[in-house]
Amino acid sequence: MLPKQRILTEAKSKLKSVRHKLTDLAEQNTGLLVLCRKELADHLNSKRFVIIVILVALTGLASIYAAANGIRAATQDQKTDFVFLYLFTAGGKSVPPFISFIALLGPLVSLALSFDAICGERSRRTLSKLLAQPIYRDAVINGKFLAVVIVSALMLVSLGALVGGLGLLLTGIPPSAEELVRILAFLFLTTVYMALWSALAIFFSVCFRQAATSALAGMAVWLFFSVFAQLLVGLVADAIFPLTDQAAAQIVFRNQQLRQFLGWLSPTTLYSEAVIAILNPSIRILGPVMMEQIEGAIAGPLPLGQSLLLIWPHFTGLIAGALLCFAGSYVLFMRQEIRAD
């Protein structure tokens, strides 16, 4: 065979292999999109989603009512240039701020949408029928996770628009460009936070065959990080660096540093600190500081870019947690044996 013919033959074989790979990728993406649309329709048409939307909307309205007085007071005193952000950070005497509601309800919404993603299919005996269709197995778990993330993002954007619109009607103060970017960053960060809990719920849904067991496992993890994690962090920090009446300032500082480091292992702490820093430009640092570090510092709000750099480790931690939980559920699901009942 001549060299030119050999080159042409090799080029044709390579093009044919690339064409087959592209065809397989297109078929895989088609199955993923079909399953994602099916899961989206199931979520949006379910009674569970309607109950969740009503609950979250009521909390949003309550937070707006509580923040209205705070915005008026801030406008009269003229103490801040970011008055519109008070809609999300200010609260009343009996009503917490909007960010506290989201930090509490966000994981519950994600767990409620995802706790029976796989085990629900098993209990209904539809998982084997679903995998019998001409779609890849990984498209099943990818489509379910993607659908939950899309539903969470739609709900958060709608709720943020509702809070902002009603706040604008109540106060008559439009947001500035920087405030709008900060609110969008807050919504995106909250979507990542909810995606982490959705990935964890899907992991438990793959591990357990019963939906009740999966839901209880997710609730147990949420309760641990929301309530007991801070107590455990305090006990560990006080045991290593005990705070006594004769404790030196260095011991106190080390105690607070250890509390902060251990607290960063909790996604709830990461999210809370990041949200406070992005919605409150007056916060310039997170964690304990020495008096020598604040000498000569100029008081004033932190620019948007610096606020984003301040929360970048927290955002990276939430992304890593979501990817780790989803990777665990992905590997476990791909290795499980699915039998037709």
**Count of domains forming the chain:** 1
Residue 220: count of CB within 10 angstroms of its CB? 11
Can you tell me the distance from the alpha carbon of 35 to that of 117, in angstroms, rounded to the nearest whole number? 12
Radius of gyration for the chain, computed over Cα atoms and rounded to the nearest angstrom: 25
- 29 in any annotated domain: yes
What does the pLDDT average to over 218-233? Answer: 88
Can you tell me the distance from the alpha carbon of 245 to that of 242, in angstroms, rounded to the nearest whole number? 10
Q: How many CA atoms lie within 13 A of 144 on its CB side?
A: 28
Q: What pLDDT band is residue 253 in, cutting at 50, 70 and 90?
A: confident
- 196 in any annotated domain: yes
Q: Write the single-letter amino acid at 31.
A: G
Q: Is 133 left (phi over 0), alpha (psi -120 to 50) or beta?
A: beta
pLDDT score recorded for residue 247 = 66
Q: Write the single-letter amino acid at 235.
A: L
The answer, yes or no, to whether residue 50 has pLDDT greater than 80, is yes
Helices 267-279 and 98-114, interaxial angle, to 10°?
A: 140
- 340 in any annotated domain: no
- 341 in any annotated domain: no
Domain range enclosing 203: 22-335
| More reliable by pLDDT, 79 or 286 | 286
What does the pLDDT average to over 252-265? Answer: 80
> Both tokens of residue 70?
């705070």
- 15 in any annotated domain: no
Residue 145's nearest CA partner among 108, 191, 105 is: 191
The answer, yes or no, to whether residue 318 has pLDDT greater than 90, is yes
- 5 in any annotated domain: no
Query: Phi/psi of residue 37, each to 5°?
Result: -65, -40
**Per residue in 65-112, pLDDT tens?**
766 665 655 555 445 567 778 777 776 666 677 788 888 888 988 999
Can you tell me the distance from the alpha carbon of 280 to that of 88, in angstroms, rounded to the nearest whole number? 10
On average, the pLDDT of the chain sits at 79
pTM over 0.85: no
What does the pLDDT average to over 189-217? Answer: 92
- 223 in any annotated domain: yes
pLDDT score recorded for residue 322 = 93
Residue 36's nearest CA partner among 141, 190, 118 is: 141
Q: How many CA atoms lie within 13 A of 271 on its CB side?
A: 30
pLDDT score recorded for residue 289 = 58
**Per residue in 52-63, pLDDT tens?**
888 877 877 777
- 8 in any annotated domain: no
Report yes or no: 192 and 319 within 8 Å, Cβ to Cβ. yes
pLDDT score recorded for residue 22 = 42
Q: What pLDDT band is residue 26 in, cutting at 50, 70 and 90?
A: very low
